[in-house]
Each structure stands twice: as C-alpha cells, then as structure tokens.
C-alpha cells in the first residue's frame, strides 16, 4: 500500500498532540498554532487516511476506533522521528563506534599519537593509517577511510568533500652537518649526490615538478619512499635533498647531524587539509582539524623553530588569510 501524498509527519504530530491534550483548543495552545489551523490539519489527515479520526458530535471530542489505532502507532512514529532529528543534529556530541584517519608518514609521526590522546573521546575505536598519499586516496574513495589528512594536490579534483585547512609548511634544503660546499640550489650543488623522494609519493612528485619548473636536472642515484630514510641518508653524509620541517621532525634525533637552509630561489610550500565526505560526520572533522592545527602550531613547530628561528614566519595557519596559501614564492 502506498502512503498517501497528503499524509505527512507534521500532520501526525498535530493529531497525536490533539488526542493527548483532549481537544483542538488545548492542542493549538501547546503547538502555538491557531485552532482553525489545527482543525484544517486534522481534516486533511482524515482525508489522507480516508476515515474520521475524532467524533466531533460529542464534547470534548473523542477518538474513533480508527483514531485509536492511529494514535497507538502514531505516538511511536512521532517519538522515533524526534529522536532521529535529535541524533542527527547532535552528532558531534555522540561517541563514534569507530574512526579511521589516514595521513602521510611525516604527519603520522608528529601528529597521530597526540591527536588520539587529546581527542579519543570522539570514538570508541581509532584506526590511524600512515603511508603514501596516493594509496590513501584510493582507500578514501572506496569508503575504507573516514578522514584523510593530506596535501592539497592529492584530492583537489574530488568533489563533494568538506575541506579544512590545517597549515602550510615550506620546502627546505638539507645537507650533512659537515658539508662546506655550495648550498645554492641554482648552482647545482656539485660534488654531492641529490637524494630523491620516490615518485610514488605526493612529496616526490611535488619536488620533481618544482625542479622542472626551475629547469634543474640532477643525476639519478637513489630515491626513498619514507621521510625517515631520506633524513637518515642525509645525516650519514650520503647526499643532500629537498624536504620539509614535518619530514625532518619525524626523525628529530638525526637533526644534529644536519644543516638546513631555505631555497635561494623558487621557494615553494605544501599545505595540509583534513578531508571528509560532505556532511557525513557532523562537526567531528572540524573539531579534529582545529585540534590538529593547534598541536602542530603549539607542540610541534616550536621544536624546530627553536633551532632555526627564521623558519617561524614561513609557516601559515588555518586562521591566516587563505590567499596566503599560494603554494610557491
């Protein structure tokens, strides 16, 4: 049986309230409506169900047999509807059964544990996935991941996402501590091998794109698909590279064996977003993005800026003017 087109939940609520209050005048007062409006809604509902719901020949009005049946079921329907709306509108106050967040290795190393520690009340069970961003993209699109913290270029072509900017960090030059040669990338940094990030990673692709833009070519020697391995290789004097503060902080114990410099030309940046499917998790993504930004700004970045104060103004935050996130400079 099809539900009549003129049957709606609002009419059912008016009917239930009228029956519970014992009359249309009392119902109108509770619902803050006029008595005539209540009467018209009840008449329309009776027309939808095809029978009288109240016996109006007596005072106060009483339910008919059909009215008693509808009231018994209607009360539960109205109650369930109210509860559904309450849960939907207060999703942010409920504890999720599980939460799967993916992020790059460099972000997982400095952010993952802190984010769980501070926000664990949001979910009964957390999954924190680390790895290469392109693979996280596929898992996210397959709905195996709830949220993804990634660089902007990885998901920029995907529509219907809620995007929350976290922060922007600069790309840097990194050399072994005892290197005394040129640190000007435009000189080609001869006599020391260039250590690449894997082109399987968003990091590697971004760096290669910028080198091509600057028309710089370096011989192929070795590439790494993890920031920790790349940083360790530079610390061991194997070569030099282009990296970011988050990547360096992932292996902070190696930093005393490094020297770090800004690019002399073609300075460029990467910025991280927290992404969620549109309107899928209430305000949980926004809360996590705000806390992620706070952690990076207050607990993480000061660790490297203490040694390299010139780095501090190179970071940009979600509270800054969005137009400052230009990606290059």
Write down the residue that tokens 């509808």 correspond to.
70
Strands 99-104 and 147-151: parallel
The DSSP secondary-structure symbol of 158 reads -
Length of the chain: 329
Rounded to 5 degrees, φ, ψ at 163 are: -120, 130
Per-residue tens of pLDDT for the chain, all 329 residues: 677 776 888 899 999 999 999 899 999 988 889 999 999 999 999 998 899 999 888 888 899 999 999 999 888 898 888 777 766 655 545 678 899 999 988 899 899 999 999 999 999 999 999 987 778 888 888 889 999 998 877 777 888 899 999 999 999 999 999 999 999 988 877 789 999 999 988 899 999 999 999 999 999 999 998 999 999 999 999 999 999 999 999 899 999 999 999 998 899 999 999 999 988 888 899 999 999 999 999 999 999 999 999 999 999 997 765 434 444 43
pTM strictly above 0.75: no
Which run of H or E residues covers position 135?
Answer: helix 133-141
What domains sit in the chain, N to C, each tagged with a CATH number?
Answer: 9-89 (1.10.10.10), 96-169+271-295+319-324 (3.40.190.10), 172-261 (3.40.190.10)
Q: β-pairing, 161-170 with 172-176? A: unpaired
Give yes or no for a contact between 296 and 236, defined as CB atoms under 8 angstroms apart: no
Q: Which residue has the tokens 């003017």?
A: 321
Report how far residue 247's alpha carbon sits from residue 110's, in angstroms, rounded to the nearest whole number.
9
The single residue listed with the structure tokens 């305000």 is 283
């Amino acid at each position: 049986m099809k539900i009549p087109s003129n049957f709606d939940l609002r009419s059912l609520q008016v009917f239930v309230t009228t029956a519970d209050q014992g009359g249309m005048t009392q119902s109108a007062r509770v619902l803050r409506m006029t008595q005539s409006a209540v009467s018209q809604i009840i008449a329309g509902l009776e027309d939808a169900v095809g029978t009288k719901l109240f016996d109006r020949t007596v005072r106060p009005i009483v339910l008919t047999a059909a009215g008693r049946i509808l009231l018994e079921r209607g009360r539960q329907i109205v109650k369930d509807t109210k509860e559904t709306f309450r849960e939907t509108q207060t999703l942010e106050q409920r504890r999720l059964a599980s939460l799967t967040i993916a992020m790059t290795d460099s972000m997982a190393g400095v952010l993952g544990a802190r984010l769980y520690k501070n926000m664990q009340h949001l979910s009964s069970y957390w999954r924190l996935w680390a790895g290469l961003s392109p693979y996280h993209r596929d898992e996210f699109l397959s709905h195996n991941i709830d949220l993804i913290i990634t660089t902007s270029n990885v998901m920029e072509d995907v529509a219907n996402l809620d995007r929350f900017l976290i922060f922007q960090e600069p790309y840097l030059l990194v050399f072994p501590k005892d290197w005394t040669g040129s640190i000007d990338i435009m000189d080609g940094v001869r006599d020391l091998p260039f250590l690449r990030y894997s082109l399987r990673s968003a990091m590697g692709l971004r760096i290669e794109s910028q080198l091509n833009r600057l028309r710089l070519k370096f011989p192929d020697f070795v590439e790494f698909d993890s920031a920790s391995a790349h940083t360790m290789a530079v610390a061991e004097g194997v070569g030099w590279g282009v990296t970011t503060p988050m990547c360096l902080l992932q292996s902070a114990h190696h930093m005393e064996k490094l020297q770090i410099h800004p690019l002399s030309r073609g300075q460029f940046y990467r910025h991280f977003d927290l992404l969620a499917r549109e309107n899928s998790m209430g305000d949980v993504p926004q809360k996590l993005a705000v806390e992620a930004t706070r952690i990076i700004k207050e607990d993480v970045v000061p660790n490297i800026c203490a040694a390299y104060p010139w780095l501090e103004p190179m970071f940009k935050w979600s509270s800054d003017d969005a137009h400052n996130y230009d990606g290059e400079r």
